[in-house]
Amino acid sequence: MQLTRILAIRHGETAWNVGGRLQGHLDIPLNETGRLQAGRLAHALAGRESLDAIYSSDLSRARDTAQALADATGAPLRLHTGLRERCFGDFQGQTFEQVTQAAPEAAEQWRRRVPDWAPPGRGGESLLVFQERVAQTVQALVAENTEKLIAIVTHGGVLDVLYRAAARLGLQDARTWQLTNTAVNRLLWSPEGGLSLVGWADVSHLEDASLDESTT
């Protein structure tokens, strides 16, 4: 069976994560905690995984997380715009509370996860369009990496789509899984069955200060 193993990883923390602001396609950098998380992730995986390749969103919060992993493991890093977060159009930079106050009808569509609703403004993606983009991107990556182990460094929305695909859940099913910054999420892809879950939300490295570069 032609399998591809995938480590799907969300970028490290940003100031906008902490503030609850919608980042989307805006290029928000890692904060100090995010850089620490990326370092611990990189050192942990360097000690236990043999990666064939790393693919990352081109946005700096993901790219810098992936670069730390590439530096630690020696695996080649390639950027792919298809791994970007969902574009939130005019709502990028706002909190959900601000959207609710300014555009309550749109906020209700968002809260209900209406599949074909798209945020207003340039580039705003519906869940259906976003899901298709993610699916096409991942299918292209696994086709290039049969019987290999790859890491995908991306964003919370992308990971949500991947979890739903692997767990055979719909776009409007309630989320009961975590999307933690730099958590390691393990997936398996096969031509026959598509994506399947192996493990989710491993954050053991975040509690291990011995993985900090200054102490290793």
Q: Which active-site residues does the annotation give? A: 11, 85
Nearest to 87 by CA among 59, 54, 55: 59
Say if residues 54 and 153 touch (Cβ distance below 8 Å). Answer: yes
Q: Which amino acid is at 75?
A: A
Residue 215: other Cβ atoms inside 10 A: 8
Considering only CA atoms, which of 157, 178, 172 is closest in space to residue 117?
Answer: 172
> What distances in angstroms separate CA 145 from CA 55, 65, 106, 154, 188, one per listed residue?
11, 21, 40, 18, 12
